[in-house]
Amino acid sequence: MRSMPIDILRAFYTVVTLKGFTRAAEHLGRSRPTISLQVKRLEELIGRPLFENNLRLTLTSIGAICFEHVGRILNDYDQMISAIEDNKVENNCIRIGVPAEMATLVMPQLSLTGTQNSCKFDIYCDDQNVLIGNYNSNILDIVLICHRSTELSSKKPIWRAPIAWACAPGYVVPRSEPLSVILPPPGSLYRQLAIDSLAATGRRYEIACVSANFNVLKAALDAKLGISPMIAPAIAALGMQEVQNLSSIAEINIALSSRSKKRASIFVDALSNVMDELF
């Protein structure tokens, strides 16, 4: 039997644990078709189907055996990677991934923590899916993950964060005309929640700007091109204001994930304190 890449094993294990391909894709920062192809590839390597029913995700006898052993393989693999990172003497810089819109909220406390403890750290601000992918690829030591599901995060700190509409100060939201909205690209959790909210209320809208770069979205807001979904506490911190005459969008889960790197614990505590105060 040929070798099985770790990402294929992780895709299968996550699909079974979260009971869905879409949830697994969101958790792993991959697209749903990618996860489906990875599971199909695992079946090809094994030579037997893993599921009795792809809709209900009922495991075959072979699938059950694989699930049991893959869980142990992934646990051993993750522990090995963490041990390697902990023993790299030259690697004394903690790598922290934060959604771009939250950087303003957490940077003051992280800077203070690093100064007080003489610890170096790097902040990576990027799209949510990129951050998740980098964390799963061991590029990041700590990451704040925004998602809907909680199944794989039962042992991690989780906060409920409200999402609201943001606009530039002085921007007038039309009452009857279609809303002008500024959105991340398809696949973004914020985009989907925002569109679902508009659909639920029957409010018409037109998309004025689409970008995966938060700085571009912020520039579009500053230019008063429209309104955009954002984590509520970040709105004021970014010099924006919350739109008052629209229904709230939704809430998301924010999970703080970290590896066993010893020097990372002080930053985990600092982030936890910030999140406790915000949410």
Token pair recorded at residue 48:
């037997």
Confidence at residue 101, expressed as pLDDT on a 0 to 100 scale:
83
pLDDT, one tens digit for every residue, the chain (279 residues) = 567 889 999 999 999 988 888 888 888 878 889 999 999 999 888 888 999 876 678 899 998 999 989 988 988 888 787 777 666 544 568 889 998 888 888 888 888 888 888 888 888 888 777 888 888 878 888 898 887 754 444 446 688 888 999 999 999 888 888 999 999 888 788 888 899 998 888 889 999 999 988 889 999 999 999 999 998 888 988 899 999 888 778 888 888 888 766 678 888 888 888 888 888
Helix axes 61-86, 6-18, angle to 10 degrees: 120
Confidence at residue 152, expressed as pLDDT on a 0 to 100 scale:
46
Q: What does the alpha-carbon distance between residue 97 and residue 99 come to, in Å, rounded to a whole number?
A: 7
* Cα–Cα nearest to 15, from 67, 52, 72, 87: 67
Confidence at residue 261, expressed as pLDDT on a 0 to 100 scale:
65
Encode 72-107: b = buried (16+ Cβ within 10 Å), e = exposed.
Answer: eebeeebeeebeebeeeeeeeebbbbbbbbbbbbbe
Q: What does the alpha-carbon distance between residue 24 and residue 147 come to, in Å, rounded to a whole number?
A: 11
Q: Torsion over CA of 273, 213, 142 and 108, rounded to 10 degrees? A: -40
List, in order of start, the domains of the chain with CATH numbers. Answer: 6-85 (1.10.10.10), 89-158+253-278 (3.40.190.10), 161-251 (3.40.190.10)
- What pTM does this model have? 0.65
Ranges assigned E (strand) in 188-249? 205-210, 228-231, 241-242
